Amino acid sequence: MKLYRFDTGLILEKDSASYAVSDSLLERLFRSGRGEIEGILGNEGMETVRGVEGELLPPVPPETEIWAAGVTYLRSKSARMEESEKAGGDVFYDLVYEADRPELFFKSLGYRAVGCGGEIRVREDSSWDVPEPELTLAVNAGGEIFGFTIGNDVSSRSIEGENPLYLPQAKVYNGSCAVGPCLTIGRDVIASDAKIDLQIARGGETVFNDSTDLTQLKRTLEELVEALYRELDFPNGAMLMTGTGVVPGTDFTLTSGDVVKIEIAGLGVLENVVA
């Protein structure tokens, strides 16, 4: 089943039908404990709807934290090493790729994220900016993965490449985080080899098109969640972006008007325009 968050309310898509559900359902799912998801959904009242209008919002509660994992794909490790080589930071990315402890960093709060159709941004003080398409996990307060969505971890590679300590500025700013189009609920709703496609259009022409799949992810989803929750509580649950395996090269940077489209098999398409 798929849960869409519109500015007019929540819509649950189930068995080829659409239902209006209570506005609190999303928060209750993220705040739930282990083993409570099925009961919450089973007790939810649903009203059949035929037409849905409104703006798609990110399928995450405003107060829920969005985190991200880095260097989880070999391609990502190589790209991060290239961007930071001049600053002498390339060795750090090589080490973290092989380490037991994954790289984890805060990305956004739910209220700051944008949904499908919303505008993403690049920093004015950055010269090299890229989208990063990522499988994104919905994790409840009990540390249980209960759903999936698509994430775009928009990043400034020029700032990050200057110094690894600039990572927060390269990753966290207005318009740097998009998630959507919906929350697909269930632990087994995505294939272990699901394909991730990234397409960027400029002036109606495709300027970048590449893909990867989940078999290239070095760490398990459970490993990433365990590391995030190991010494940290999330009473409002969390979303966790799992890293990118599709990275545009040094000859590409996002510009205003670019259309970024990310598709993950089984989860839909997240599309955004660069402001």
Mean pLDDT of 190-207: 97
Q: For residues 195 and 97, give the distance between their C-alpha atoms in angstroms, rounded to a whole number.
A: 22
Per-residue pLDDT, 47: 92
CB 57 within 8 A of CB 33: no
pLDDT in tens, 9-34: 999 999 999 999 999 999 999 999 99
Per-residue pLDDT, 75: 54
Mean pLDDT of 242-249: 92
Per-residue pLDDT, 100: 84
Structure tokens at 115: 């949904």
CA triple 268-29-42, angle to 5 deg: 95
Q: How confident is the model at residue 71 (pLDDT cuts 50, 70, 90)?
A: confident
Per-residue pLDDT, 5: 98
CB 136 within 8 A of CB 108: no
Half-sphere exposure of 240 (CA within 13 A, CB side): 31
Q: For residues 111 and 107, give the distance between their C-alpha atoms in angstroms, rounded to a whole number.
A: 12
Q: How confident is the model at residue 108 (pLDDT cuts 50, 70, 90)?
A: very high
What's the chain's average pLDDT?
93
CB 200 within 8 A of CB 207: yes
Q: For residues 104 and 94, give the distance between their C-alpha atoms in angstroms, rounded to a whole number.
A: 15
Q: For residues 170 and 177, give the distance between their C-alpha atoms in angstroms, rounded to a whole number.
A: 12
Q: How confident is the model at residue 116 (pLDDT cuts 50, 70, 90)?
A: very high
Q: How confident is the model at residue 97 (pLDDT cuts 50, 70, 90)?
A: confident
Lowest-pLDDT choice from 16-20, 85-89, 104-108, 154-158: 85-89
Residue 262 bridge partners (DSSP) = 198, 270
User: Of 171, 177, 170, nearest to 136 (Cα)?
Assistant: 177
Share of the chain above pLDDT 70, in %: 92
Q: Considering the entire predicted model, what is its pTM?
A: 0.93
* DSSP annotation string for 87-119: TT-HHHHHHHHHSSSPEEEEEEEGGG-B-TTPE
User: Of 99, 107, 75, 43, nearest to 238 (Cα)?
Assistant: 107
Name the 3-class secondary structure at 32: coil
Q: For residues 70 and 73, give the distance between their C-alpha atoms in angstroms, rounded to a whole number.
A: 8
Complete domains list, the chain, with CATH: 2-56 (no CATH), 58-274 (3.90.850.10)
CB 175 within 8 A of CB 154: yes
